[in-house]
Structure 1
Amino acid sequence: MTSFWLAILLLIVIALLIVWRIFATPKNTIGAENLNIRQETNVTLYHEHLSQLESDMAEGSIEQESFVQLKAELDKTLLQDVQSSQTRTIENQERSWLWPLGIALSIVSLSLYTYMTLGAYSKLNSPVAINENDAHSELSPEQMLAFRLQQLQREVKDDPTNSQAWFSLGQAYISVGEFDNSIAAFDRVMKQVGEHAELLGPKAQAMYYKNNQQINADIQAVIDKALALDSLDASTNILLGMDSFSNQDFAKAVQYWEVVLNSDRPGISTQALAGAVEEAKNRLRLSSNMASSGEVSAEVDPNLPHLIIEVSLAKSVQEQLMSSEDKTVFIYAIAAEGPRMPLAAVKIKASDLPITIILDDEKAMTPQMRLSSVDKVHIYAVVSMQGSVGIKSGDYKAEALNVDAMVKSPIPMQISVQVP
């Protein structure tokens, strides 16, 4: 701030020096030269006229009395010219000081007025904030989160009674995986303001993540207490939905998440939550609608797309599965270009293999997404080691890509590749 004003003052002084030099030095010199030339000219003319008068008197053209009178007038004229030149010079010198003074005042006044009106004077009061915003605009999300965490830590250090800062700090600790600190922060808030569902829910989330996303008795106790205070609490219901989804209980996941969506409470990312609900519903349809299929039926309409899939297990995979319980096998087709929602699917057991199944519109997941709605499909046969929909690490799979939906000949698929 001080350096800024010193820089402005220096620029104004430089401008004033330039103005004063122009009016002081050059014009005084020119004025002095003009004065000397004028005086020399007047003296020269005086001597010329005097010589002419003396010559006229010597020739008898004028009398002595006329000579004396004319010479007196000539002397008087010379004296008046000298006095007049000196007076004008003094007046000009006096006026020359008014110009630089007026210009100097104008420069200072106009500079200050222009800056105060058009400049960024108001932003000088918060230069640190401006610089911080510019510096943080290029930070990555991880760096921004670390900066936010440090900022909240400073806030609670400066004001330990700031419950809102403690709550935000607890949420920030969850984001960076410091679950113990998060739990301690929420406990600090509840110690100040009392137990509320909107505080117990986030605490349960921190405990849930700390316990490797498994609900134990302690976590369940916090959840029960939160729901007793507010059965519509967003954090608690979202947590229960997440746990249900991870345990393949998609119906319960939808139930918990729709409670939050229907509550119309502020501060909820409804778009993200609605996407999670839709995904859970898709998983639920895929799990419930997949049914085992027998041999090819003669009742299949030859004019509609129907894929005849001959599925078998490679010998190496059979050996791997013999020592474990019977695994679930998902066989499904998705559009080669477009959403990954299955167009047709069946679910069988590994013990049913080898088998020939048919994928057609009768096995569609939704009326809108059907095999007859596309030209090309990708077909997958997956032995799920966890029994859940989708291809995951450790599963065994076979795939046939870019298959014509109207192909009539059987498609052999041997499950032999383990997903890394």
Structure 2
Amino acid sequence: MSTFWLLAGTMAILALAFIALPLLRKRDSSDIDRDQLNTAVVREQLTELKADMEAGKLDADAYTTARHDLERELLDNVSQDKNKHATSSRDGRWILAVVLPAVPLLAIMLYQQLGAGEQSANPPQAQNNAGVSDHEVALMLEKLSQRLNEEPDHPDGWMLLARSYTSLRRYDEAVAAYEQARKYGGNSPELLIDYADTLIAASGGSFVEEAGKMLKQALTLQPDNAKGLWLIGHWFYQRGEYRNAVNSWQRVAPQVQPGSENSLILQQQIQLARARLGESLPAEAETAKASGENKASIQVSVSLDPALLNSAAPDDTVFIFARAVSGPRMPLAIVRKQVRDLPITVTLDDSMAMSPAMVLSRFPQVSVGARISKTGQAMPSPGDLQGMQSPVLTHKTENAIKVVINERVGD
């Protein structure tokens, strides 16, 4: 698989060389800065795509399609900007400097990301290979934001900025950038679906009403978009519209490789939605249900270390969650509370899952944790406070698991 990606990346580089060389003759120091920015942008976009694949939102085929779509989109942008260059060369040069380098770097970074994996023994190494620190990423994104505000009529630039902010979990800024992309570029299906995905992430995995509206609009324009169908299926499921969830996921099924892991996950989601409708399940699902597999629950008692009392405000959000010891980082069950509620004991079970296919009962052991979010977002950020217990058995835990929030994220 890695060889395939490397060859694909090499072919992309060779193809783009014929486009890039004429443009490189007039590069200045600001162009170099933008190249570095795109190195960071691509790295973050790949992280987002990889997270989607690991969370089950994309299978290998859909991941490949998304990568090729990105390359095709960037190539289209190059062609469009080259046409604009005759009438506005200054605008064309800077937007090309932002977009064009991303394509070959995409291939290189994709190879690095797939080779390293989430559980790499040396996670910082991939960042060092890119040659850009987190601080430099922030500075370059700020420069891009400033330039776009000066010359805002570049929807693709706003899309790149929005995706970068999303990957960095800076969701409020991502939402603002997506709004600018809509203002100057209209409501393309891709934009609407990515925007909706960001709104979902910003709400800690909850499918807010606005996200649902965007997904419906996108699917009106592109009815067979797999990511859009996948997401709106979850939106329907969370709203209790199980029939619509089944119908949406069934339309994804022909686009997933038969027999693949994601195909199995998709079928399990469809089965769970049908079970909510009171429809009969396949024999293997009935067997699992009869054996008590769908009855996993864990009691968790959460408290805050007295040494950190002054580091948290009463209104700060507390997320109490369980997730797989290894594998996707999506919580299998999650509860939202506030610091003023601590100490507290809660019960995590399958009804609290963010996805009907990713539930406690599917995993024999999990990691249980609690995190005080300074931003109110479910994704961890530097400065958050957290505590963890791992591993915890899901079916043989009678006493409450004690979790003490006693460390800072990033320490």
TM, length-normalised to structure 1: 0.43
Higher relative contact order, structure no. (Cα contacts within 8 Å, ≥ 6 residues apart): 2
- Greater CA radius of gyration, 1 or 2? 1
TM, length-normalised to structure 2: 0.44
